[in-house]
């Protein structure tokens, strides 16, 4: 796990490899996750094996499955593969 300054990082409940830049909120939970993200990003990778590479100024949520997501800057991306029924 390598993190830079001005970062809040939580890596819980699994084998996680996380490399993130500054000004980032990252939560990698409940699975084997490899996450590399740029600055000014909110990223949540949960509940599965996820490989996510995203650029700056991006909100990305990759949940509940094996996901590979590559998105460019100034993008709102949500990948949900299981509906919660609400």
* Confidence category of residue 7, pLDDT binned at 50, 70, 90: very low
Given a contact cutoff of 8 angstroms between Cβ atoms, the answer to whether 24 and 43 are in contact is yes
Which CA distances in Å does 63 have to 45, 48, 56, 86? 6, 7, 20, 16
Give pLDDT, residue 54.
55
Residues 13-60: tens digit of each pLDDT: 544 455 554 444 455 555 555 556 554 455 555 555 555 565 544 445
pTM beyond cutoff 0.85: no
Q: Where are the domains of the chain?
A: 2-80
* Confidence category of residue 70, pLDDT binned at 50, 70, 90: low
Q: Three-state SS for 29?
A: strand
Give pLDDT, residue 19.
57
């Amino acid at each position: 796990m390598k993190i830079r300054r001005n970062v809040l990082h939580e890596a819980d409940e699994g084998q996680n490899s996380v490399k993130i830049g500054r000004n980032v909120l990252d939560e990698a939970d409940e699975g084997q996750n490899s996450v590399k993200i740029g600055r000014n990003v909110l990223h949540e990778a949960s509940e599965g094996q996820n490989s996510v590479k995203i650029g700056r100024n991006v909100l990305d949520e990759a949940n509940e499955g094996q996901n590979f997501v590559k998105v460019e800057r100034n993008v709102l991306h949500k990948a949900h593969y299981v509906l919660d029924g609400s």
